[in-house]
Amino acid sequence: MNNERVDQIIEKHNGEANSLIQVLLEVQNENRWLPRQALERISEKLQVPLTRIQHIATFYKAFSLVPKGRHEIHICMGTACHVRGSQNVLDAVKNLTGINPGETDLDLKFSLETVNCLGCCALGPVMEIDGQIHGKLSPADTAGALKKYE
C-alpha cells in the first residue's frame, strides 16, 4: 500500500487522531494486514506515536501485523460446535490447507483462525470463510467448502 492511498484514507477521516482505529481498519481492509510503512505514515500524519499505534494493533485481534491470505477461515470451537465435532473439522482443514490456526499459507491464499463463537450455535460445527457461514459440517464436507474459494 502506497503513502498516497494511506493519505486518502486519513483525509477521509479529516486527519483526526481520534479516528485512528477507523483508519487502521480501512488500511487493513484494503491490504489484508497492516504493513509497517503504512503504520509509520499514519503515525506521521495523525501525530500519534508509532508505539501507541503498534500497541493498538497488537491489542485488538481484528488487526494483523503479518500478511493474511485472500480468504480468512474461522472455525468455531465454542461449546456447541465442540460437542458436535469442530475439532475434527479443524483437523480436516489443517490437513487440506497445510496450515495451523494463526497461520497463512505460503501462497497467501488462506489464513486459519479458531474462534470461541460465531453466533450460530444451532448450525454447529460451523466454519466461516470470508463472512460466509458453512454449518453442520462433517470433516468430509470441508474439502467442498474450501474448493469454492480456490
- Give the mean pLDDT of the chain: 94
Chain segment 12-50, per-residue pLDDT in tens: 999 899 999 999 999 999 998 999 999 999 999 999 999
**Which residue in 82, 110, 114, 87 sits closest to 97, CA to CA?**
110
> Residue 61: which pLDDT band, with cuts at 50, 70 and 90?
confident
**Which residue in 98, 95, 93 sits closest to 75, CA to CA?**
93
Chain segment 91-100, per-residue pLDDT in tens: 999 999 999 9
pLDDT at 91: 97
Q: What's the pTM value of the predicted model, to 2 decimals?
A: 0.78
Q: At what angle do helices 50-59 and 20-31 cross, to 10 degrees?
A: 70
Q: Say if residues 99 and 144 touch (Cβ distance below 8 Å).
A: no
Tell whether the model's pLDDT for residue 126 goes beyond 90: yes
**How many whole angstroms separate alpha carbon 148 and alpha carbon 150?**
6
pLDDT at 65: 92
**Which residue in 144, 36, 30, 26 sits closest to 89, CA to CA?**
144
Range(s) of the chain covered by CATH 3.40.30.10: 71-147
pLDDT at 82: 96
- Tell me yes or no: is domain 71-147 CATH 3.40.30.10: yes
